[in-house]
């Protein structure tokens, strides 16, 4: 669970770095996408690692979730959370939301199966800008980025503890690394549809 | 002070339980929560009804025998306090309170508010000890231990095994308890020879007792009457992962 989560967060950071090339214009982004496609072996190796990580992540979540569900057969009439965060209590739901979004995202910008706007495989820049100009598409992406931000905010903090690599702290619930990662990923990804909607990226 | 209590009544482990409403009168603010229940039980007994079963022993917050949920919070609304040290001055006249036993598959209800916590004993039996012949106490400075380790070990050793961490955890996980015991011994030189075997054995037993898993809600830390930090869980994970890599033949499982 934790180890695959770390893999996926590392991927997200690289994914964001690639995406931010959109601010350098169509040339930069399309050149980057062409670079990825020039080495199909590497591309598919990366995809295989990611797919494996996603599958293990989901399978582990399902297994742990089932065990947790079984661990309390008689529910409390009342259980008042003292400090569990919204993010920690909704990890399973945000995870489901993100999984659904990833499928949509792949069908939209990788395969071009869902075409809210004209799709041209080699012109990633046009596909992105055209897609985000469609209101409902932009909303789907914006909502998904909130889910990813929350998921990473809890997951990045929790996974390092599950792996036992966090150092003891007088304030064990402070999470500077998770804050930076979650805000960076959320703000970075969110800025792109916003920029398209505002006409900064056209 | 008069109160209305909704208390879980259950005759025996296999029987169906349910909430019963009780009115308690003449409570003073100096009473502890358990003394308030004593008052109720005296009345129930004199009326010929069966008293409410709850566990207690030292009533000074150091034995870990007492504990139940008050309005959805383990050991009640005051942090860092076992229910025996919770006094009625924290409540106001006319309040309605719900009292429930710890709820977990690993903690079957025996009667009313009493649960069977022997699962925790079995986790201890799976490695929470040091098998060194100790003899008489040696001079204290023979074995030098860094101050930080002493303090961290002492903080973990404060665990009284009450089970509030399991009760408060949304997953009913015993990670704080097990982590505290593993950290307590793992931080001291006396605990080193068996450190790996201990981590693997205790974590394995914890999983076998059908507790849930730690997903870092952090509720246990707030429920703990000794305020043991969730850092002990990270230490447990580190020790058990390291042991699983070093001694895979012992069947270490680092999946949680």
Question: Which pLDDT band holds residue B249 (cuts at 50, 70, 90)?
Answer: low
Q: What is the pLDDT of residues A152-167, one digit of tens each?
A: 999 999 999 999 998 8
Give the position of tokens 């932009």: A138
3-state DSSP assignment of residue B110: strand
% of residues, chain A, pLDDT over 90: 92
Average pLDDT, chain B: 94
- Alpha-carbon distance A32 to A26, whole Å? 10
B19 at the A interface (CB within 8 A)?
yes
8 Å CB contact of B241 and A163: yes
Q: Which residue of B has its CA nearest to A81?
A: B219
Average pLDDT estimate for B54-62: 96
pTM of the predicted model, to two decimals? 0.93
- Between positions 198 and 227 of B, the ones with CB within 8 A of A are 210-219, 221-223
Which domains occur in chain B, in start order? 3-110 (3.10.20.30), 118-250 (1.10.1060.10)
Distance between A82 CA and the closest CA of chain B, angstroms: 6
Cβ atoms of residues B182 and B232 within 8 Å: yes
- Alpha-carbon distance A100 to A120, whole Å? 24
DSSP code of B173? B
Domain that residue A75 falls in? 2-198
**Closest partner CB to A76 (pick from B100, B213, B256):** B100
DSSP code of B104? B
Judge whether residue A96 has pLDDT over 90.
yes
Taking the CA atoms of residue B181, residue B185, residue B187 and residue B188 in that order, the dihedral angle to the nearest 10 degrees is: 160
Q: What is the pLDDT of residues A48-67, one digit of tens each?
A: 999 999 999 999 999 999 99
8 Å CB contact of B100 and A1: no
B149 at the A interface (CB within 8 A)?
no
- CA distance to A10, A180, A184, A185, per residue, from A13 (Å): 5, 12, 9, 7
List the beta strands (DSSP E) in chain A. none
8 Å CB contact of A72 and B168: no
Distance between A124 CA and the closest CA of chain B, angstroms: 38
**Closest partner CB to B233 (pick from A73, A76, A161):** A161
Judge whether residue A142 has pLDDT over 80.
yes
Question: Which pLDDT band holds residue B118 (cuts at 50, 70, 90)?
Answer: very high
8 Å CB contact of A88 and B236: no
Cβ atoms of residues A121 and A112 within 8 Å: yes
**Closest partner CB to A77 (pick from B100, B172, B214):** B100
Judge whether residue B228 has pLDDT over 50.
yes
**Closest partner CB to A70 (pick from B105, B235, B256):** B105
Give the count of domains, chain A. Answer: 1
Burial label for B122, CB within 10 Å (0-12, 13-18, 19+), is: middle
Judge whether residue B250 has pLDDT over 70.
no
Q: Which residue of A has its CA nearest to B100?
A: A76
Distance between B177 CA and the closest CA of chain A, angstroms: 16
Q: Output the CA torsion sign for B65, B70, B74, B77.
A: negative
B233 at the A interface (CB within 8 A)?
yes
Can you spell out the DSSP letters for A48-91? HHHHHHHHHHHHHHHHHHHHHHHT-SSPPS----SS--HHHHTH
Work out the number of other CB atoms within 10 angstroms of the CB of residue B224.
26
8 Å CB contact of B237 and A162: yes
List, as own/partner pairs, every contact residues A61-67 make where C-beta atoms lie below 8 angstroms and the sequence separation is at least 24, other chains included.
A61/A1, A61/A91, A61/A92, A61/A95, A64/A1, A64/B213, A64/B215, A64/B256, A65/A92, A67/B210, A67/B212, A67/B213
pLDDT of residue B248: 66
Q: Between chain A and chain B, how many beta carbons pairs sit less than 8 Å apart? A: 129
Which residues on chain A are in Cβ contact (under 8 Å) with B78? Answer: none
8 Å CB contact of B231 and A168: yes
Phi, psi of B173 (to 5 degrees): -95, 145
3-state DSSP assignment of residue B22: strand
Distance between A92 CA and the closest CA of chain B, angstroms: 11
Phi-psi sector, B147: left (phi>0), alpha (psi -120 to 50), beta? alpha
pLDDT of residue A33: 93
Judge whether residue B254 has pLDDT over 50.
no
Q: What is the pLDDT of residues B132-159, one digit of tens each?
A: 777 788 888 888 899 999 999 999 999 9
Which residues on chain B are in Cβ contact (under 8 Å) with A85? Answer: 217
């Amino acid at each position: 669970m934790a180890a695959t989560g770390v893999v996926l967060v590392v991927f997200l950071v690289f994914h964001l770095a690639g995406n931010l090339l959109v601010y350098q214009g169509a040339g930069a982004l399309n050149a980057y996408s062409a670079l990825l496609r020039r080495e199909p072996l590497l591309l598919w190796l990366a995809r295989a690692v990611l797919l494996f990580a996603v599958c293990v992540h989901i399978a582990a979540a399902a297994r742990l979730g089932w065990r947790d569900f079984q661990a309390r057969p008689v529910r409390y009439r009342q259980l008042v959370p003292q400090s569990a965060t919204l993010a920690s209590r909704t990890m399973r739901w945000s995870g489901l939301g993100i999984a659904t979004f990833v499928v949509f995202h792949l069908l939209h910008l990788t395969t071009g199966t869902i075409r809210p706007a004209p799709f041209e495989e080699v012109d990633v820049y046009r596909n992105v800008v055209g897609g985000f100009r469609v209101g409902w598409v932009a909303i789907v992406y914006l909502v998904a980025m909130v889910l990813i931000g929350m998921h990473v905010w809890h997951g990045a903090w929790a996974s390092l503890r599950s792996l036992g690599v966090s150092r003891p702290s007088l304030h064990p619930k402070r999470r500077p690394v998770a804050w930076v990662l979650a805000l960076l990923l959320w703000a970075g990804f969110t800025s792109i549809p916003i920029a398209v909607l505002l006409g900064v990226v056209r | 002070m008069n109160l209305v209590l909704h208390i879980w009544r259950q005759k025996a482990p296999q029987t169906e339980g349910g909430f019963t409403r009780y009115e308690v009168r003449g409570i003073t603010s100096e009473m502890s929560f358990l003394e308030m229940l004593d008052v109720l039980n005296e009345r129930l007994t004199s009326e010929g009804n069966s008293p409410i079963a709850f566990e207690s022993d030292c009533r000074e917050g150091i034995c870990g025998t007492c504990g139940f949920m008050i309005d959805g919070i383990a050991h009640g609304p005051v942090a860092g306090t076992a229910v025996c040290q919770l006094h009625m001055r924290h409540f106001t006249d006319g309040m309605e309170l719900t009292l429930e036993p710890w709820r977990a598959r690993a903690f079957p209800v025996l009667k009313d508010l009493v649960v069977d916590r022997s699962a925790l004993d079995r986790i201890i039996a799976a490695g929470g000890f040091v098998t060194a012949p100790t003899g008489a106490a040696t001079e204290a400075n023979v074995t030098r231990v860094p101050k930080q380790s002493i303090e961290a070990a002492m903080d973990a050793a404060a665990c009284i095994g009450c089970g509030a961490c399991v009760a408060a955890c949304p997953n009913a996980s015993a990670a704080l308890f097990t982590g505290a015991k593993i950290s307590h011994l793992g931080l001291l030189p006396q605990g080193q020879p068996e450190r790996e075997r201990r981590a693997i054995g205790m974590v394995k037993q914890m999983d076998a007792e059908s507790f849930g898993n730690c997903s870092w809600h952090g509720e246990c830390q707030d429920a703990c009457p000794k305020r043991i930090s969730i850092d002990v869980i990270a230490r447990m994970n580190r020790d058990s992962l390291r042991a699983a890599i070093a001694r895979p033949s012992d069947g270490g499982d680092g999946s949680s």
